[in-house]
Structure 1
Amino acid sequence: MTGINVDYINPFLMAATGIIKDICQIEMKIGKPYVKETAFADDSVIIMIGITGEMRGQVMIVLSYTKALEIASKMMMGMPVEKLDEMSISAISELGNMIMGNAATIFSTKGILIDITPPTVCRGNLTIAQSFAQNICVPLSGGDITIELDVAVKA
């Protein structure tokens, strides 16, 4: 993998797997990272969070629409979630906040100070143009849920 240091990706992976285990009771396995264009399918839900400070870029947490509903339901104490409405979008946005806040804490223990932007939730057939950093995709899977963590950052 050229262009990105694994030390810039591992804190995001540690945060994502830890938070998903704590919040959703799902043990996530980390798949093989690869370089990916930031283009997403019709049924995608993307939680996009920007990074500023000693690192710049963005992280996108990508899941299918049905899995976003399942996770929103788990976050809302098992309340059934039929569609992405204001409440369920707020729940999955909070998942993004928790993951990224945890990652910021991990980075701070390594002497790297970052800030995160509020999450933006996008849906559907989408391509995001990025010119500042290569996008590294790391699939996370556990149970019947697969989440894609797209990390495009540079120091």
Structure 2
Amino acid sequence: MDVNYLNPIISSFINVMPQLGLPAVEKKGVSLKGRFIESPGVVIIVGIIGDIKGNVIYGLSLEDAKKIASAMMMGMPVNDFDELAQSAISELTNMLTANVATNFSQDNIIINISTPTLVHGKFTANASSDKVVCVTMGVGDMTVEVNISMEKNTI
């Protein structure tokens, strides 16, 4: 995977999260993983197709997902990770990844994204390639793992 694919994703977090009332965004670290991604509680998978193909797998704890959903819903308490909270988190990843697509387009890299697929519980997700780069983003006291599995489309 091209490490230049990381900057549009980091920039997306820095641009989108504060607009939703989620300041203090920072990159906490970068690591390499294999194809199999263990769920930290909530996982949202977004497919990528176009000049680049692959997927972005967002992972966060159930508690952090509830905190972020609450912030997105103007502070409404989120005690259960119900359909409304799940919808908020799915929309967040949709906004983040759409912003990634816009960032790539500024470098003449055109991609489309799939509808987010949210799953929660204990399971293992399977990335689109054997090499996955995980960017750990801090959002206040919350953590979001962004597992990136993308490569240049040769078709």
Q: TM-score, normalised by structure 2?
A: 0.90
Answering whether residue 17 of structure 2 is matched by residue 20 of structure 1, we say yes
Q: How much has 1:29 moved relative to structure 2?
A: 1.3
Identity of matched residues, %:
36
Q: Structure 1 residues 24, 61: closer, same or farther in 2, change over 3 A?
A: farther
Q: Residue 45 of structure 2 aligns to a residue in which SS?
A: strand
CA distance in structure 2 between the partners assigned to 1:115 and 1:25 by the alignment: 26
Q: How much has 1:131 moved relative to structure 2?
A: 5.3
Tell me the residue number matched to 1:78: 75
Tell me the residue number matched to 2:102: 105
CA distance in structure 1 between the partners assigned to 2:122 and 2:85 by the alignment: 20
Compare the two structures and name the one with the higher strand fraction: 2
CA distance in structure 1 between the partners assigned to 2:59 and 2:129 by the alignment: 20
Tell me the residue number matched to 1:93: 90
Q: Residue 34 of structure 1 aligns to a residue in which SS?
A: strand
Q: Deviations over 1:14-36 (max 9, x none)?
A: 10232112213322111221112
* Pairing 1:22-37 to 2, within 5 Å after superposition: 22-37=19-34
Answering whether residue 125 of structure 2 is matched by residue 117 of structure 1, we say no
Q: Deviations over 1:32-55 (max 9, x none)?
A: 2111233324x5111110001111
CA distance in structure 2 between the partners assigned to 1:107 and 1:68 by the alignment: 27
How large is the Cα RMSD of the aligned pairs? 1.5
| Kept after mapping to 2: 8 A contact 1:133/1:153 | no
Q: Residue 145 of structure 2 aligns to a residue in which SS?
A: strand
Q: How much has 1:12 moved relative to structure 2?
A: 1.0
| Kept after mapping to 1: 8 A contact 2:22/2:140 | no
Tell me the residue number matched to 1:40: 38
Q: TM-score, normalised by structure 1?
A: 0.90
Q: Residue 70 of structure 1 aligns to a residue in which SS?
A: helix
Tell me the residue number matched to 1:7: 4
CA distance in structure 1 between the partners assigned to 2:62 and 2:22 by the alignment: 19
Q: How much has 1:6 moved relative to structure 2?
A: 1.8
Answering whether residue 48 of structure 2 is matched by residue 51 of structure 1, we say yes
Q: Structure 1 residues 133, 22: closer, same or farther in 2, change over 3 A?
A: farther
